[in-house]
Amino acid sequence: MRLYDTQRSGNAWKVRLLASLLNIRLERVTLSIDAGDLGSAAFRRVNPLAQVPTLELNDGRTIYESQAILHYLAHRTSLWPEDRFGQSQVLTWLSFEQSQHMHPLAQLRLRLALHRSADASAPEMLALRAQALKALTQLDARLSAQAAANGPDAWVAGTSISIADVALYPYTRLAPMGGIDLSAFPSICAWLERIEAHPGYEPLIPGQPDLNYTTKENSK
What pLDDT score was predicted for residue 216? 86
Please tell me whether residues 64 and 103 are part of one structural domain. Answer: no
Q: What is the mean pLDDT of the chain?
A: 95
**What's the whole-model pTM score?**
0.95
pLDDT in tens, 3-25: 999 999 999 999 999 999 999 99
Domain boundary (49, 77, 105) is at: 77
Q: What is the mean pLDDT of residues 156-167?
A: 97
Domain that holds residue 158: 84-197
pLDDT in tens, 171-216: 999 999 999 999 999 999 999 999 999 999 999 999 999 999 999 8
204 is a domain residue = no
Name, in order, each residue with C-beta under 8 angstroms of 147's C-beta and a sequence gap of 6 or more.
154, 187, 190
Q: What is the CATH number of the domain that holds 90?
A: 1.20.1050.10
Please tell me whether residues 57 and 92 are part of one structural domain. Answer: no
93 is a domain residue = yes
- Determine the Cα–Cα distance for residues 41 and 162; give it in Å rounded to an integer: 36
- Determine the Cα–Cα distance for residues 1 and 60; give it in Å rounded to an integer: 9
Please tell me whether residues 51 and 133 are part of one structural domain. Answer: no
Nearest one of 67, 73, 76, 79 to 25, comparing CA atoms: 73
pLDDT in tens, 95-145: 999 999 999 999 999 999 999 999 999 999 999 999 999 999 999 999 999
pLDDT in tens, 60-108: 999 999 999 999 999 999 999 999 999 999 999 999 999 999 999 999 9
What's the number of domains the chain is made of? 2
155 is a domain residue = yes
- Determine the Cα–Cα distance for residues 101 and 61; give it in Å rounded to an integer: 30
